[in-house]
Amino acid sequence: MSERALRGTRLGATSYETDRGIDLAPRQTVEYACQNGHRFEVPFSVEAEIPMVWECRFCGQEAALLDGEEPEEKKTKPTRTHWDMLMERRTREELEEVLAERLAVLRSGGMNLAVHPRDSRKSA
């Protein structure tokens, strides 16, 4: 075995360094509370920007900063529906014209609906 090997220890299992003589960065402790009543503290650097919300350590829900302002609601775009996108491309008059054309094709028998698999279930 190599003469440099450490006997009786596992690599990476234990650190032999100590915190003696090391000046840690100045810290502040901030308290958060969630809707379930859990209260906990999180240490931050004095220079850090403190977030208004933090994940609760106990239940995982969003916890608010105690003695802090309410977080600002982010502005979101309203959800665009299929109808909204359709109305961006066509006018109501164009849609009525397309509908009339398709109904005329259906009524004239231009489309063979008997071959379609969904219609075979209706007749059975």
Q: Which residues are annotated as a binding site for Zn(2+)?
A: 34, 38, 56, 59
Q: Is residue 16 a contact partner of residue 36, using CB atoms and an 8 Å limit?
A: no
Residue list, annotated binding site? 34, 38, 56, 59
Residue 83: alpha-carbon gap to chain centroid: 26
Quick check: 63 and 38 in contact, CB under 8 A?
yes
Distance, CA of 49 to CA of 68 (rounded, Å) = 13
By the 8 A CB rule, do 7 and 21 touch? Answer: no
